[in-house]
Amino acid sequence: MFSSIKNYLEDLDKICKPIEDERKSKLDQLAKIINQSSSKDLIFICTHNSRRSHFAQIWMHIISEYLGHNKKVKSYSGGTEATALNPRTAQALSRIGFEIQVSAGANPLFQIRYDKGLSPIEAFSKVYSHPSNPQSDFIAIMTCNEASEACPIVTGAAIKFNLSYKDPKTADDSPMEVASYDASCAEIAQEILYLGSRIQ
């Protein structure tokens, strides 16, 4: 793992406010579901699969590697509709130290590298039922309320769990844009690290 990313994970408690007890309780509940489930396939879902769901998928992948869960916990992402991974999301990851290559096109493929010796994470916007994702017996983790309301039933999911985050999109094209995306990325990383520490 690149040292900049490892250092970022180790410094999250300095970057972020402490996780509130109510939120910790929710994360503990999700960890219990994951621990008790026969499947450790997690699909993080938001409406457009462009921001929060990608942050969550990528951090779950990285933190599973970091904590040694990578052989059992697998992370994916999807949306209720496909658009494109927002470049601001990739830029926030790049500022931490991820190496990112991106293809051309309306819905480009982002190759997100976090370790010289490991394959990059391939990220692009897709619906949660895309063939690259598990089709059954997965845990659907809803990262926005809109997607949760739009999908009262997630086809193929063993369990649906709501873990919504504020959308950094609200700061697009404003002086707060970079700070908003960096804060969203850090908050999700901090909570996924806490969640990962509770997975057995």
What is the average pLDDT across 69-88? Answer: 93
Q: CB–CB of 138/125 below 8 Å?
A: no
Question: According to the model, what pLDDT value does residue 151 have?
Answer: 76
Mean pLDDT of the chain: 95
Domain presence at residue 25 = no
C-alpha 34/C-alpha 163 separation (Å) is 14
Q: What is the pLDDT of residues 117-153, one digit of tens each?
A: 999 999 999 999 999 999 999 999 999 988 778 778 8
Question: According to the model, what pLDDT value does residue 145 have?
Answer: 84
Q: What is the pLDDT of residues 39-58, one digit of tens each?
A: 899 999 999 999 999 999 99
Q: Do the strands 138-142 and 41-46 form a parallel or antiparallel pair, or are they unpaired?
A: parallel
SS3 letters across 143-195:
CCHHHHHHCCCCCCEEEEEECCCCCHHHHCCCCCHHHHHHHHHHHHHHHHHHH
Q: Give the total number of structural domains in the chain.
A: 1
pTM for the full predicted model: 0.95
Question: According to the model, what pLDDT value does residue 33 have?
Answer: 96
With a cut of 80, say whether residue 8 has pLDDT above it.
Answer: yes
Domain presence at residue 20 = no
**Best CA proximity match to 162, nearest among 14, 2, 4, 45:** 45
Domain presence at residue 66 = yes
* CATH code of the domain in which 109 resides: 3.40.50.2300
C-alpha 120/C-alpha 138 separation (Å) is 23
Q: CB–CB of 189/9 below 8 Å?
A: yes
Q: Which domain holds residue 91?
A: 3-9+44-165+174-198
